[in-house]
A and B are shown apart, each in its own frame.
Chain A
Amino acid sequence: MIEKKIDERKMKLIKVKVLDIEKDNIINKDDSDTIVENIRKYIEKVVDGKC
């Protein structure tokens, strides 16, 4: 089933993680594909209830 309603806890986790990844990226200067992949994997993890 599609998760119609956004779970606020999950949403907060994703927001915080995305910003953390981007903050690290300012220093580490990873390539764009790596960052996109990191964000994608994290969202999947949260959606799957693994966080």
Chain B
Amino acid sequence: MKEITLTNFRQYIGTQKIKFSTDKEKNVTVLIGKNTSGKTTLVRAFEWILYGKTKFDDQILLNQNVIKNMSMGEIQKVTGILLLEHGGKEYEITRSYTYTCIGKDIVRKSMDSKEISYVQPDGQTKTKIESEFQANIERILPEALAGYFFFGGERVGSISSRPDIESSVKGLMGLDVLYNAMNHLHSVINKFKKGIDYSGNQNALNVQKNLDSKNEQLRLSENEQMTVQEQIDYFSGEKEKYAALLKSNEPTANAQKRREQLDILISTQKNQIEKKKDEFVAMFGKDSFAFFGMPLLKKAVLVLQDAEEETESVPDMNANTIDYIISRGVCICGTKIDKGSAAEQNLNAEKAKQPPESIGSLVRRYREQALLYMNSTDNYFDLVNNKYSDIRSSQRMLGFNRDEIDGLNKELAGKKDAEDLEIHYKNAQTQLNLYEKQKQTLIMNQGGYKRDITNFEQALDKLTSANVKNSRLTTCINYASETYEWIRDTYQEKELVVREKLEEKVNSNFKQMYHGSRTVIIDEKYKVKYYDVTTEESDGLKAVKSFAFIAGLVDLAKEALTDKEGLEYVVGPQYYPVVMDAPFSNVDEIHIEKICKILPSAAEQVIIAVMKKDWEQAESILTPYIGCSYKIIKDVDADGNDIETSTHIK
């Protein structure tokens, strides 16, 4: 685009002209203005001149100041002239609306006109092109694609997810030509087929009936395959998405695994501690009285050690035993014990040594028992101490593990559950396998239908060859079918190339523009998606993604699509400008810098209308690329206030 001239267009009063930079190196034209100065209006002026679009709330395009000064019946014009070069030729496109004053401050559009002229090489002579205006504009800048070059006041971030993106990209890359040709040729083939005359030939009629039936089966199967393919694409995307999520979620998954291990460990430790406590209590209960009585026992043993054993007696003998033997009258040795006998006297003497008559034995027994107790408590302290230390040590370990699990709980709060992701991933994989299997079955069936169709067609050829008219139509069908197949193959091949190239370019731009390490993919609908879907994208990130896409698209358009056979199927190279209004509004400082480095090299020409504050960040980067710079200035009244209806470009 070389130049735009606006006369009384909206707030632009009088005639305002902007010459755009056409320098290959310095291809950026910048228009700086404050808010509401008319930046968006300027971008919309392009769409009005080219396509007659008026996206304003107020449909009156004539400057309000001009309207106020019009008298009844007076006529005034709004004019826009765009001078541009296309295919080595210079064109002047003019559009104007004529308004008539029909009351105070009221005007009515009375006429609109548009004209496209070819500027002769002398640069002066203009030759009006008489053919249809819009058709010529379509040749230069197709309206369907305009949304990718003129960004007037909309959020740049929404560009890469527009609903019409697939048809637009296909249009830009010339794929729509092939796609439409496929559809039209299909209709042509059917038309030829309908023309074949089978009257009077029953066999041919039967074969045709079979052929129609097989064709219908094939069509249904192909339709079903498309549905199955959609499912395959969907679950394939789901699988990739969850694989990426699982990968990016690996630290979380590890943390979850550790948490599960700790849960089991803590439960085991708790049980072990309870068991140890029980053992401790049992151990304590068994010998504690001896342990705690030990100081007393020791003292008693010490005292009793020196106690004289006045009597020597039979061990473990007691007075009751002796009384029993005497009353029985026979000793355990068989000696008869008569009253007053020596045996009785001896036994009574022995009885006298036993408690309660004698304390000596009691002392001895006490001492023996005390020593037994003391011996039994020899290891008691160590055992209790060790058991207690063991319990404390286990409790400490339990504490550490509980601290770790608390930390993990905090770390995992709000994170995606790796197990859920795994379930989703496996589900996608299962579904994918299922649909792949269905697809294989369908393809196998289609092979059978196609074989049958070929056989029926050949049979039909033979049956109809006798008829000259039919023979001619069959030949036409053969040529049409051959052309259809060639176009279908070319379309499929080019479509793949376009998608791959676009993805490559968008990724290359995205990597340079975005500070992170994300990768984007272009899906089958040409929508830009992140390879790793982990977080919600910010407005800034959306804008960066869209800039990467726009730059990739205009860059790709510069590459011609050619046919490998050297046929005249050539689209491009096509050079498009990028016209943007306030493109950096949602983008942070770092990204503004990175975007500014890419855009001038990707697009043929960049025209940016920008607010002063945003421009300050971009200026240093864009300076080497700036060919022309303008200021959009509002006039001010006597009090220094802006006049909303009087803007100039300087």
Contacts and interface: CB of A to CB of B under 8 A. Distances in A.
Interface of A: 1-3, 6, 10-12, 14-16, 18-23, 25-29, 32, 35-36, 39-40, 43-44, 46-48
Contacts of A47: 472, 475-476, 479
B567 A12 contact: yes
A11 B482 contact: yes
Given A19-B568, A23-B177, A36-B188, A6 B482 contact: yes
A44 B319 CA distance: 145
Contacts, number: 91
Contacts of B254: none
11 contacts: A1-B465, A1-B471, A2-B474, A11-B482, A12-B567, A21-B181, A26-B180, A32-B184, A35-B180, A36-B184, A43-B480
Contacts of A1: 465, 471
Given A16-B567, A47-B475, A26 B188 contact: no
A9 B480 CA distance: 14
Nearest to B190: A36
Nearest to A34: B184
A21 B483 CA distance: 14
A36 B191 contact: yes
Interface in B170-216: 171, 176-178, 180-181, 183-185, 187-188, 191-192
B112 interface: no
Contacts of A10: 479
Nearest to B475: A3
A14 to B, nearest CB: 5
A21 to B, nearest CB: 8
Given A27-B139, A39-B185, A47-B475, 20 more contacts: A6-B482, A15-B486, A15-B569, A18-B184, A18-B487, A19-B568, A20-B568, A22-B178, A22-B180, A23-B177, A26-B176, A26-B177, A27-B138, A36-B187, A39-B188, A40-B192, A40-B480, A43-B476, A44-B472, A44-B476
Interface residues of B, number: 35
Contact of A6 (B142, B192, B479): B479
B492 interface: no
Contact of B188 (A12, A29, A40): A40
B142 to A, nearest CB: 7
B436 interface: no
Contacts of B483: 11, 14-15, 18, 43
A44 B185 CA distance: 13
Contacts of A21: 181
Contact of A28 (B135, B187, B479): B135
A25 B465 CA distance: 36
B188 A19 contact: no
A35 B187 CA distance: 10
Nearest to A28: B135
A46 B480 CA distance: 11
Contacts of B183: 32
Interface in B27-65: none
Contacts of B135: 27-28
A23 B561 CA distance: 14
A10 B478 CA distance: 12
B18 to A, nearest CB: 28
A22 B482 contact: no
A42 to B, nearest CB: 10
Interface in B470-496: 471-472, 474-476, 478-480, 482-483, 486-487
Interface string B446-478: 000000000000000100010000011011101
Which of B135, B178, B478 has most chain A Cβ within 10 Å?
Answer: B478
